[in-house]
Amino acid sequence: MIVVTGGAGFIGSALIWELNRQDFSDILIVDHLGESEKWRNLVKLKFSDYIPREEFHKLLLENKLLTPIWAIVHLGACSSTTERDADFLLRNNFKYSQDICRYALEHNIRTIVASSAATYGDGSLGFSGDYALIPKLKPLNMYGYSKQLLDLWLLKNNYQDRICSLKFFNVYGPNEYHKGDMKSVVAKAYQKIKATGRMELFESNDPSIANGEQKRDFVYIKDCVKLIYHLLDHSGINGIYNVGTGIARSFNDLVKAVFKALNMPAQIDYIPMPDELNSKYQNYTCANMDWLEKVDYPGQFGSLEEGVYDYVKNYLDTNDPYLEP
């Protein structure tokens, strides 16, 4: 059995979609559904059971998980970069993750956990993925810091040789619809363009960068879960790694790709950046993905235009936008 925490969420449900495509359905989903619309992500997927997060955590701490577990993919976390409850983030993103990792190590369970590109802060130290860089990083928000703490804990205890931690960059794609304001710019752009024929982007807060030319490493969800599946199938690959395309693209490029997928002329307006974001804004991110060559990963990451086109034409612009195996 594979346990997927956060299995009803964006990356978690997409991973289950990929596992189903590979004819694997012996999956235990762990999540907190609450009053959210995350449950819709699960409707078309095949899995063995669902356990609420709190119940799973209790069973884990009491060593009462009776079902033999082959692997845990720990994707459950609060991913809001604007969450201000630091204690909640420490409990939910750091302490809970520690408990899962300890259990997995004690029971020799293949383990993959989610970190984040938010750990890199303003990017001034680069995005090399070098372990020597990790202690020097200064995240710009509490979410990034909660992920940074786990990576530091893994390094301090030399667990990076037995656990795979993945620093996801800007992931977009189907099944992110429940994320509200944390949805990708692709999803937001689609809604805005369909409603008004135009899209708004933040003005640049850096005189050396033109409006809309702030750049990110945008990575399509389908490419991410293919990589995770490969890592599950190759348990000897462990470490703290970036997950992105290795190519930085501008928000202008991203939005123009949405317009093109809708066969509409690009109409972009630039608006002032909110004060609360101005000091915490990353103007550039780009994952160093050299590690893929070292582990002989056979897959490839598609271009921004390919990912956006698939997302818009086959999901966003349809009556049924959810992933189906």
179 a catalytic residue: yes
DSSP strands (E only) in the chain: 2-5, 27-31, 49-52, 71-74, 110-116, 164-168, 170-172, 199-202, 215-216, 218-220, 239-243, 249-250, 268-271
pLDDT one-digit tens code per residue, 143-188: 999 999 999 999 999 999 999 999 999 999 999 999 999 999 999 9
Q: Mind listing the domains of the chain with CATH numbers?
A: 2-173+219-246+286-302 (3.40.50.720)
pLDDT of residue 67: 82
pLDDT one-digit tens code per residue, 283-323: 999 999 999 999 999 999 999 999 999 999 999 999 999 99
Task: Out of 44, 46, 95, 179, pick the active-site residue.
Answer: 179
Q: How many CB atoms lie within 10 A of CB 102?
A: 14
pLDDT one-digit tens code per residue, 37-60: 999 999 999 999 999 999 999 999
Q: How many CB atoms lie within 10 A of CB 193?
A: 21
Residue 187 DSSP SS3: helix
pLDDT over 70 for what percent of the chain? Answer: 99
Task: Out of 143, 172, 229, 311, pick the active-site residue.
Answer: 143
For residues 289 and 67, which has the higher predicted lDDT (pLDDT)?
289
Residues 91 and 75: their CA atoms lie apart, in Å, by 15
pLDDT one-digit tens code per residue, 242-266: 999 999 999 999 999 999 999 999 9
Q: What is the pTM of this model?
A: 0.95
143 a catalytic residue: yes
Q: Say if residue 81's pLDDT is above 90.
A: no
